[in-house]
Amino acid sequence: MFDAFAAWLREQDRSAVTIRGYLSDLARFAAWFRLTHGQDLAPGEITPADVREYRGWLQAVQKASAATVRRRLMALRAYCRWAVQAGYLAADPTAAVKAPRETELSPRWLTKQEQWRLVREAERGMNAADTPTRRYQAVRDWALLVMLLHTGLRVSEAAALEVGDVQMGERSGWLLVRGGKGSKNRKVPLNAEARQALTAWLGVRGEQGGALFGLSARRMQGVMAALGRRAGVAVHPHTLRHTLAKNLVDAGVGLHEVAALLGHSSLNTTRVYVTPGERDLEQAVKRLEG
């Protein structure tokens, strides 16, 4: 799969150990790319949004150290430089993406204030929409944000949703998530806020069949990143997934229920999502203050 890239590395006089390490790290990126986009990695398909999302996924989901993230981005950067020289890419998508410093904390979930700022920014976008097209996009983006924040769907699952997968009544609702991780279907309940957002979106979109949002996983990542930039909050779909898990645990929901909602087959995976962070430990110590 990476024979031409390996040959290029040898031409650059890289050591055998370095080449093996790059190929191993690149295989991990290819696995992430396939899971995220539902297609095999092709050098001409990598975008800066992919690189930023992968960096965030390593930090948020894998809880990788800054050194590990830097190493994997270094391998990806070398691959993209080869792709530019080989004519697959016009520009290096890793050029503007910085590797984390050792002192940076891994982003895991959003605070209540950050969640509020994101939702408020999406609502401001709806209020400011002055054409039917802008209104359509603003309602879509708000509904997507609220749905992800209150269901914790993987971005690939959200992109695969169809209108027929939404089941809503007056006081309850569900999403039928088809072929999630491990090709397992599951039903995810919709709370009042998620139902309100999806109802508003279907009112604008129309309830004819087809894709619910009409966005690829990559476009959804871009929508969330753009909202985050305007709100001053670093966000990607995996952050929202972690945020839901943390909100549920803080509300007293048990790990078994959280695991079922997120589609985890192992509680160990769920525990990673809710491991106490520095803010939690700081608050724990403050309880001793008289």
* Residues designated as active site: 154, 181, 238, 241, 264, 273
Q: How far apart (Å, rounded) are the C-alpha atoms in residues 209 and 234?
A: 33
Q: How far apart (Å, rounded) are the C-alpha atoms in residues 162 and 169?
A: 17
Q: What is the full DSSP assignment across 172-203?
A: -EEEEE-S-TTS--EEEE--HHHHHHHHHHHH
DSSP state of 122: H
What does the block give as tokens for 58?
């390593």
Within 10 angstroms of residue 22's Cβ, the number of other Cβ atoms is: 23
Within 10 angstroms of residue 139's Cβ, the number of other Cβ atoms is: 21
Question: Helix, strand, or coil here: 166?
Answer: strand
DSSP-derived pairing of the beta strands 186-189 and 166-168: unpaired
C-beta contacts of 110-115 below 8 A and 24+ residues apart: 110/233, 110/235, 110/239, 110/240, 110/243, 111/279, 114/231, 114/233, 114/235, 115/149, 115/243
Please give the angle made by the CA atoms of 233, 239 and 243, to the nearest 5 degrees. Answer: 100
Q: How far apart (Å, rounded) are the C-alpha atoms in residues 269 and 262?
A: 10
Q: How far apart (Å, rounded) are the C-alpha atoms in residues 184 and 178?
A: 7
Q: Which residues, 6 or more positions from 77, have their beta carbon under 8 angstroms from its beta carbon?
A: 92, 94
